[in-house]
Every structure is written in C-alpha cells, then in structure tokens.
Chain A
Amino acid sequence: MKESKLNRETLLFQRRELMASLKYASFIQRAVLPDKRYLDNTLRDYFILHKPRDIVSGDFYYCMRKEESIIVAAGDCTGHGVPGALMSIMGISFLNEVLSSRGPVMPSRILNLLRERVMKALHQRGYELENKDAMDMALCVFHPRTRELQYAGANNPLYHIRNKVLTEIKPDFMPVGINAIEEDSFTNHSMQLKPGDTVYIFSDGYPDQFGGPDDKKFKYGPFKELLINISDRSMEEQQKEMDRVITKWKGNLPQVDDILIFGIRFV
C-alpha cells in the first residue's frame, strides 16, 4: 500500500516536471516566432490561427522584412509535439540564416537553400535507413512597391482570393528535406496583387481535422468554401470564424494535428 502511494507520487512529480519543461519549451518556441508588434507593423491586415495539438507545435509561421520585400511563410514539420517543435525551431533558424545571406530574395531560391540546410543538418543523403524528417512549407515574398507577390511551395499551396474568387497556386510536390526521388529546384510563381486581395497559407491541420456528424475530415473543398464565404470580413473576424467553425467541427474528438492558417490582406 505504502509502495503504491510512493509510485503514484513519483509519477505525479515526473508529470509535473515534464509539463513544466514542455511549458518552458513552448515559451521558447513562441519566442522564436515573430512577435505581434513586428507582424502588425509589417503586415498591418492579417490573421494567424495557430492551434498546436500539444503544448509545443510542429507548425510555425514566419515573417521578415528584407530590403524592399516582405517574406512570409507557413511551415509544417513532420510530427507534432516535441519532435515537430525541434524541427520548427530548426526551420526558423535556417530561414533566418538563408535570408541573412547575400543573393536575390526569391521564394524558390529560399526553399532550395533551406532544403540544403535541413538535409545537411539531418545527414540526409538518399540512403534507405536514414532520417527522413522534413517540412512542408508555403513561402511568399511580397514587394509592396510593385505589388508583386512571389510564391514557392513545398507540398503546401497558396490560396488567393479576389472578389470572392479563389485561385489556388499549386506547390511542388516535394518537402523541404530529402525527397522520395531526386530533389529538384522549387518553382517560383509570381502574380500581381490588387488592393483588397487576400492570400492564405496554411498547414494541413485544419482540412485534416476529423469531426462533424460522421467523424470525417473537414477536407479542402469546405475549407476553400469557408475562406471564400468569409473573405470579405475583417481579418480579425475571419480568424474568429475559422476558429469557431473548426472547434464546432471537432466537437469532442481530439485534435489530430497542429493547425495553422496565415491570412494576409493587401491594401
């Protein structure tokens, strides 16, 4: 009786320690994400819906001003929880490193350079039994002066909505990291924006969430419809509505993955 009580107390102690450690880790993870003031100053009209599945998250968002460009990204690392978080911190650090180096600020180039760093860090060489961790990512570079938006995607697309019409720009189907087949250069896409246009980059957590009356995935079709329906609302309202819808959809089911949606309206 005495021993079982002791075991219980040990377990409770370990749990407390673990939770404290994870909470501190989440604090560090939040610290490496762009802070709100920087985002407000850089993007002005935007929303971020970030709902980690666990205390720490494998999804991350990124924003950086460089010369006359604004770089934004939404990344989704393999796994969630602690492994995902470690990958996400690595992703953010490598993005910072790539953007601090010389050379043109082009999304495809940034993803190419980022992939080299990830592959090198994880010792990926295309061998069978090696580590296969990687990250999916949508990355945009916006030039406010010319209103040009460039995008490159690693498995994650970009949605552009103008006057309630959604255009999807498809990504390259390979991750930032070792690919199943030989890696290729990422493709750079470019478009001219008009005032009021909104773009959304996101992880697959939202459309992949199970729920609803039949415990099914939310899916991309309804996700697009929802974005179209709310695209004329303020960004703050959009975030609330997205949150409300997915919370209702999920109901009592557990959240399956980290959720991240990064919406930006250009003025």
Chain B
Amino acid sequence: MQLVAFRIQNFRSIVDTGWHQLAHDNITSLIGQNESGKTSILEALKAFHDGQLIEDMLRSDLSLPEVACRFNFQYVELEARIDKRRISPEIRKLIPTVDTISIKRRWENDIDSHMVMAGELQEIFDESEEQNRQREQKIQENLEQLKRNIETAGNELQQATDEVDWTREKVESIKLRINELKRKIRKFTTRKNKETLKTELTEEEVLLDKLKQTLKKKIVKQEEKRDILDALDEKHRVSSRMEKIEEQINQKKEALAQAQAQLKQILQLSGMYTTEKEKRAAEIQEEIHRTDTESLKGEIAALQHDYHTHLLAMEFIFEGMSIDSAIPAAEKELKSLNKFYSSKELAEEIFKILPDFELFEDFSSLLPNRIDLEDIVRANKGAEGYKAAINFLTITGLDYSFFQQPSNRILKQKIENLNGELTLNFQDFWRQNVGKNNKIKVNFELSYYDHTHPEKSGKPYIEFWIKDEQERLYPKQRSRGVRWFLSFFLELKATAMDRSQQNKLLLIDEPGVSLHARAQEDVLKVFDDIRERIQIIYTTHSPHLIDVNKLYRILAVQRAIADDMNSETLVFSARSLKSATADTLSPIYATMGAQLSQQEIIKSSNNVIVKDLATYYFLKAVTAITGFKKACYFLPASGAESIPMMVNILIGWGIDYIILNFGNSEERTVYEKMIQEHYDNKIDLAKQKMVLLDEYPDTEDLFSTIDFKKYVVKVREGITVKNSDYLKDNNYSRALIASGFLQEVNDGQVSYKKLDEESRENLDQFVAQLASMLK
C-alpha cells in the first residue's frame, strides 16, 4: 500500500490542510520558509501512525487533532488477513471496488486516540450509526413517555385510593349512624318517634348499601390502577438499572479523566528527573497510572455494553416482550449487531497492512557517541540516538540479548570479532565518497559507567566509533554531514533488511541540511534509487534537493499571512504553486538557475540566446515535440534586457550565437536596439544573427488556444486573448508553467500527434525557420 494523500486538522499551526495528493512516484518534498509548518506535517503523519501526541502539537484553542490518510488499495491485500464474515454486506459490496481507502486518526484527548474509516466507506458506517442513533432516540423517547405514564398512573392510583378512603369513611359514619338510630329506636317508646326513626333508619340503610356498592367499585378501580402502576414500575426497574449504569459510567469517566491527568503530569515531568532513582520511581508511577487508565477504559466499555443491552431490552419490552425474555433477547441482538466490524475495528484491521511510517530526525536518528544498554532493553525511544543505535544493531544482526553474556571477557571478545567484520559499504546506496574508498567502519564497544557517573556507576552502555583508514573518532567528533550521511545510511540499510511485508514510508526532516551541495544531490539520487521500496516525504530549503524536472513532487507550505507566525499553515499542491509566495518557492527558482548552468553547456556554435528560463523550457518542449534533429543549445538570459550583455560575453569568448526574439514589446525593443548598436544598422548582417518572430508575442503563442488550455495551463475557461497575455493577466509563473509542460512532453503525455492543426502548422514553420538559422 502506498500513501497517496493526507489531510491534517488542528495540528500546531495547521487548521485544515484539506486533502493533498502526494507525488505518484513516491517522493514528495515539502518546501517553505522556516516556521511555515513543514515539520508539523511530518510530525502529524508520524502521529497518525503511532498515535503519540505531545502537548505542543495541540493548537492554542485545544481543538483536538485529526489526521486522515488515503492509501491506494487492493482488496486482495486485506482479504487474506481479515475475518470476512465480520464485514457487513454493504461494506463487502463496496470494498472490492475501491482503489483507495482513507483512514482517520482522532484524538479523544491529548493522550488517547483511535482510528476510524474515512471517505466513502465511512459514509456507510455513518448511515448505519445514524440508524442506530435514531433507534436509540426512539427508545429514549419511549423511556421518557414511560416516566410520564408512571407519574400519571401514580396520581391516578392516589386519587382512587383517596376516593376509596373517603367512601370507606362515609360507610363507617353511616354504620355508626345506623347503630345510633337502632339504639334510639330501642330507647324511645313513643310510637310517633319510633316511626320517624325507623323511616330514617331505612333511608340510612339504603344509603349504606349504595355506598358499599360504590366502595366495592372504587376498590376494584384502585386495584386496576395499582396493577397498571405495578406493570409500569416493573418496566421502570429495567430503565432505572440503566440510569444506575449511566451514573457508574460517568463516575468511571471522571476517574479516567483524573488518572489521565495524573499520567499526563507524570509524562510532563519525565524529562526533568536527574537521578536514576527518581526516573525509576516516575516510571513505576507511570506504569501504575497506565494500568489504571487501561483498566478503567475496560470497565467503561463493559458498562457501556451493559447499558446498551438494557437499552435494547427496553425496546423489546415496549414492543410487548416480557421482562424476563427481553434481557437475553437484547444480549443476542447486541451480539448480532456487534458481529460486523465497526468503523474503528475495520480501520484497526486495515492499519495492520498500512506502510510503516518512520520519522528520520536528528535527535533520535543520528548515531550517538553512546547509549545506555538499559535504554535499548527498555525500548526507551526518547533516548538520544535510540533509533540510530537500533538500526545499527539490526544491521549487525544483534538484539539486546546479545549483551546478556554472563562473562564480560567472552562478550568483549565477541564484539571484537564482530567489529572485524563490520564495514559499511556506502556504495550500496551512495555515489559520493565517504571516507577513503567509500568505506567507513563503525565500531562499538560495551563499557561500564565508572565513579564519575555515580547514578549509573557499574551500568553498561554501548559506545560507538566511526573509523576510516585515517582516524577513529566518536560520531559527534566527525563532521555533522558525515554523521548524518552515516545515520541515514544505517536507516536505509536497516529498512532494507526488514523482512516484514509492510511498505515503508520515510518522513525526513531537512535531509542533509549540513551536507555539501553535491552530497545533497546525492541524497536526491538515493531517494530515486530507493523509491520503489520506500516512499519518502521530506522537508527542505535546499534547491539541491529539488528536481526541477519533477515539480509535481512539491507541496509548498506557508503561513496564511506572510510573516505572521500565528496565522494558520496553508499547503499548496504542485498544480497550485502559482498561489504560493515567491519566498516559499525560492528553492524552486534557485534550482532552476542551478540546474540550467549544469545542464546546458555552451558550445562553439548553434547557441541560441533566448529571453528567459520560461522561454528556454518552452523551446526545449517544442524541439522535443517536433523531433527537431539539429544540434541546438538554448541559452536563457535573465530577461530581454540582458540579451545584449549575453551577446557581448559570447562575442568576447569567441563563441557563435543567434538570438531568438519573439514579438512582444521588450524583445522587439531589444531587437531594434541590437540592429542599431551591435550591427550598426546593417539589416542583412543583423538578420544572420537575429530572428524576430513578429507573429508570436511569446513562445506559448506558438500553440493554438485549445492546445494551450489542454496541455499548458490545463484550464477550460474561454481565452480570448493571446496565450502569453492570459498568463500575465492571471499572474501565472511562466517558468513553472513552462517547466511543468516540458516535463509532460518528456514523459510522453504531450506529443505532436495530439496537437491540433493550428499548433502543428505554427510549430513546423517555427522549427523550419530555426533550422535555417543553425549550422
């Protein structure tokens, strides 16, 4: 798999780079001024791979970073390594058809991050998540309704109970009244009174019967209300369990946040301890908090699972399932839902086959003078030169177990034997001479700290020496250039020896910044040699590390507001370099000049002076397209006004030349001035040396508008002015446009056959005229 594009959000000075394509041929260079954000891009990509974020990588508003990478992808690569039954049908349908796959790393806080899918596959996950969300929302709504129903049922039961109580009281009072009446009837003897009391008694008894009937009904109603409430309460038991779980989750999350804060504090202080004892104590503390956070995360996940089970169970209960059956059914349903890979799980599976991202930077990657064996054993990546030391040991075929010899004498002897065989042959990767015969020996020794290092006294360390035929020096005693060269060699050699099937992506911050210009060009050659095996993204300021014929490899990085280091970082792809500032592009401009002086050799004849670099590139393209056979050496001046000076120099050297002038006003002026001043108004003589292509204001006007649009500027808008005016009106860099065009011509993407009749006719006439001037 090959990284084809990236998008970085909220990382140091970067707000959002948008998606940026990397060069198809595996080498991408990030150019830009200091502090523009080039290194941040490398670090963000590295953080994408290892998930490690340090505090200064966060933006001041503490928005959390997201880094997405797109890789070219073939399903067969994944198929063999994945449990296909766990891919959902929708993903299974799409995944074999995609040729790129995007993965995003999201940070949940400054310590924890996770991978998710991005792009079109994520859309499927989003859809399914949305469905789940809606489903959960529906359940939550039902739960709310349940709460309201319980409240209503409680009120109704209370009301029914009140009514029963009231009726019961009434019955009791009537019963008392009846007893009283009966007692009175028995006491009073007058007939009249007896009759009256009897009538009253009868009425009361009738009323009592009625009230008893009413009471009966009210009790039935109360029972009904109680049953309703009990049924609702039963349901509520499940939902209140959910509330408890939710409460527990929140408590655990709080505990996790605290543990993470403590861990963060320990990590922040980790570099400040001086004594071994303090360091060890901090390491133990770190270990404890890491274990705590991991265990809390596990507990939270288990609780969340429990919560979801109850949530789903509620759905079943609402649908009418009994409470006893709902929980097992929910567990079954959840298991079935979790059967397929989630976005996170699929991303993690794909991550296993992604290229290995390695950051080559000075602190960890340059060979140190010494490194503690303990740092190697404990994989302390923060130790100076850790990576270089590991690379060295990989190349020598050793690991830390080699040093666990019980006998020091035997170990020393073994190392001595090994050192005899260890000669690094730079010609594996290098053409530049490093040391005599391109060979350098790196020796290593196992030593022990003495009393001058009381904290480490008696502890072992490995010491490195760089040795050529002349001298034996510590790495830091050699020039920084040689040390870089050697360390980079170790990196490449170790990578080449890695037997894993994963591709490699090497992120290099300012390669060979201390190297001589020629050595830097060698670095570029090495990149070209290894690019089939190792994809490279590097930052540079150096024109010698840019191949002007391959400007598509460039991503320009600059601040949104020039000189404001607080403004956000912007990235420009090769196609939009015209939008980058001249300062950002300075390595390109410099390299154009640098290369030209090397590539174009002045010959004794057939030297053709042209106005500038852009004209040079266009004319190289024209001669390539037309298959121009005559020897012809275009020499670019640094502007039309410099042509007379260039002529003077060539005349001084006794070198033959002709001048090619196009019909724009500057070149026409130079043409006329030259006739007067150089050729003393002798038109015939002047015409032997100079051509004025009156019909074409500039080289690009040799092409028809449609070909110019298709192959040179690659736009589709209507152009109603001369091609050269279009470039000026739209602030295009002629040199960049012309260089890109030449590259496409050289790559065979533009040919004579592809051009239209008008362009072909113009070019034919032009080269015929040129040929007639040459010897």
- By the criterion CB–CB under 8 Å, are A112 and B705 in contact? yes
Q: Looking at the complex, which of A18-26, A181-189, A203-211, A259-267 is the stretch in contact with chain B?
A: A181-189
Interface residues in A22-66 (C-beta closer than 8 Å to B):
none
Does A154 have its Cβ within 8 Å of any Cβ on chain B? no
- By the criterion CB–CB under 8 Å, are A118 and B718 in contact? yes
Which one, B707, B710, B720, contacts A120 given CB within 8 A? B720
- By the criterion CB–CB under 8 Å, are A112 and B716 in contact? no
Does B715 have its Cβ within 8 Å of any Cβ on chain A? yes
Does A250 have its Cβ within 8 Å of any Cβ on chain B? no
Which one of B705, B715, B718, B756 has the highest number of Cβ atoms from chain A below 10 Å of its Cβ? Answer: B718
State the Cβ distance, A90 to closest chain B Cβ, in Å.
Answer: 12
* A116-B705, A182-B710, A183-B706 known; A109 vs B716 contact (CB < 8 Å): no
A171 to B710, CA, bound (A): 21
Total contacting residues, chain B, CB less than 8 A: 15
A108 to B756, CA, bound (A): 10
State the Cβ distance, A127 to closest chain B Cβ, in Å.
Answer: 9
- By the criterion CB–CB under 8 Å, are B757 and A188 in contact? yes
Interface residues in A93-109 (C-beta closer than 8 Å to B):
108-109
- The chain A residue sitting closest to B759, CB to CB, is A185
Does A125 have its Cβ within 8 Å of any Cβ on chain B? yes
A188 to B718, CA, bound (A): 21
Which one, B705, B706, B717, B757, contacts A125 given CB within 8 A? B717
Does B719 have its Cβ within 8 Å of any Cβ on chain A? yes
- By the criterion CB–CB under 8 Å, are A124 and B718 in contact? yes
Does A160 have its Cβ within 8 Å of any Cβ on chain B? no
State the Cβ distance, A104 to closest chain B Cβ, in Å.
Answer: 9
Total contacting residues, chain A, CB less than 8 A: 22
Does A201 have its Cβ within 8 Å of any Cβ on chain B? no
Does B365 have its Cβ within 8 Å of any Cβ on chain A? no
Does A80 have its Cβ within 8 Å of any Cβ on chain B? no
Contacts of B720 in A (CB 8 A): 113, 116-117, 120
Contacts of A117 in B (CB 8 A): 718, 720
- By the criterion CB–CB under 8 Å, are A126 and B718 in contact? no
Does A227 have its Cβ within 8 Å of any Cβ on chain B? no
A109 to B757, CA, bound (A): 9
Does B615 have its Cβ within 8 Å of any Cβ on chain A? no
Contacts of A184 in B (CB 8 A): 706, 756
B701-739 contact mask (Cβ, 8 Å, vs A): 1 or 0: 000111101100001111110000000000000000000
Does B758 have its Cβ within 8 Å of any Cβ on chain A? yes
State the Cβ distance, A135 to closest chain B Cβ, in Å.
Answer: 13
A155-195 contact mask (Cβ, 8 Å, vs B): 1 or 0: 00000000000000000000000100011110010000000
- By the criterion CB–CB under 8 Å, are A113 and B705 in contact? yes
- By the criterion CB–CB under 8 Å, are B717 and A185 in contact? no
State the Cβ distance, B437 to closest chain A Cβ, in Å.
Answer: 56
Contacts of B706 in A (CB 8 A): 112, 183-185
A120 to B718, CA, bound (A): 4
- By the criterion CB–CB under 8 Å, are B718 and A185 in contact? no
- By the criterion CB–CB under 8 Å, are B716 and A124 in contact? yes
- By the criterion CB–CB under 8 Å, are B718 and A116 in contact? yes
Does A1 have its Cβ within 8 Å of any Cβ on chain B? no
- The chain A residue sitting closest to B719, CB to CB, is A116
Interface residues in B297-343 (C-beta closer than 8 Å to A):
none
A118 to B716, CA, bound (A): 12
- By the criterion CB–CB under 8 Å, are B718 and A115 in contact? yes
Does A6 have its Cβ within 8 Å of any Cβ on chain B? no
- The chain B residue sitting closest to A118, CB to CB, is B718
Contacts of A124 in B (CB 8 A): 716-718
- By the criterion CB–CB under 8 Å, are B718 and A108 in contact? no
Interface residues in B659-712 (C-beta closer than 8 Å to A):
704-707, 709-710
- The chain B residue sitting closest to A108, CB to CB, is B757
On A, residues with C-beta under 8 Å from B are 108-109, 112-113, 115-126, 178, 182-185, 188
17 contacts between A and B (CB under 8 A): A108-B758, A112-B704, A112-B705, A112-B706, A113-B720, A116-B705, A116-B718, A117-B718, A119-B718, A121-B718, A124-B717, A125-B716, A126-B716, A178-B716, A183-B706, A183-B709, A185-B707
Q: Identify the 3 closest CB pairs spanning chains A and B, nearest first.
A: A119-B718, A120-B718, A185-B756
